[in-house]
Amino acid sequence: MPIKNVSTENFIDFIFELFAQRGTEEYMGESVTMSQHMEQTAACAVADGACDSLVISALLHDIGHFVGDHPIDALENGNDNYHDEIGARFLEPYFPSSVTEPIRLHVAAKRYLCATHSDYLGHLSAASVNSLNVQGGPMNAEEVEQFENKALNQDALRLRLYDDDGKVAGLTIKPVTDYRPMLESLLLH
C-alpha cells in the first residue's frame, strides 16, 4: 500500500529525507553510519557491473531499519526487526520486484550462504554474526531448498556480498542523491 501523502512523484524526495534524518545513525555497531553503509553497498554493486535494479536494491536494502517500529539497535540487542520484509513492503508500491525481492531475501541470503559455503561465515563482521543468530542462524536443508526455488535469489546473493563489503570506515562515496536519475528510471508509474 502506498504511504499516505507520498505520491510516486515525491517518493524519491521522501527517500532522500529518510536518509538525511535517519542515515547518520550508527549501523549495527559497525564503523560506518546507516547511509554510508547503504551508499557503499550500492557502490560495490556498481563496481561489480550490476544492472540498475540491483544497484538500487543495494542502495535501499536496509531502508527497513528506517521505517519499522523497532529501535535502530534492536538486532544488536537480540531482537529481530524484520527489516528485510519491512523494507521490501515499504518499497513495493513504487519499485518493481527486481528491486524489492533481493531486499526481501538479503537476510535469507546470509543464512543460505552460511549453510552452503563453509568459508562464508569467516567473511562476516562480528555484528553480522551476532545478528545471524537472532535471524535464525544458518538455514536447514529444507530452508536451503526453498531458497533455491525463489525468484531473484541470485540477485539476493549478489546483494548480500555487496552488503558485507559496504562497511569501510572513512571511504568517500557517491551520496544517495546522485542516484536520482537511476531511481526515477525504475519508479513504477
Among 65, 61, 46, 68, which residue's Cα sits nearest to residue 109? 61
Closer of 63 and 183 to Fe ion (Cβ):
63
What whole-number distance in Å separates Cα of residue 75 and Cα of residue 52? 29
**Per CB under 5 A, 39 contacts Fe ion:** no
Closer of 53 and 83 to Fe ion (Cβ):
83
Closer of 6 and 48 to Fe ion (Cβ):
48
What whole-number distance in Å separates Cα of residue 77 and Cα of residue 11? 31
**Per CB under 5 A, 62 contacts Fe ion:** yes
Stretch that binds Fe ion, among 28-36, 56-64, 93-101, 120-128 (CB under 5 A): 56-64
Question: Residue 26's beta-bridge partner residues?
Answer: 33
Question: In the bound complex, what is the minimum distance in angstroms from residue 72's beta carbon to Fe ion?
Answer: 13
Among 60, 108, 163, 186, binds Fe ion (CB under 5 A): 163
What whole-number distance in Å separates Cα of residue 62 and Cα of residue 84? 7
Q: Are 147 and 139 within 8 A, CB to CB? A: yes
Chain residues binding Fe ion by CB under 5 A are 62, 163
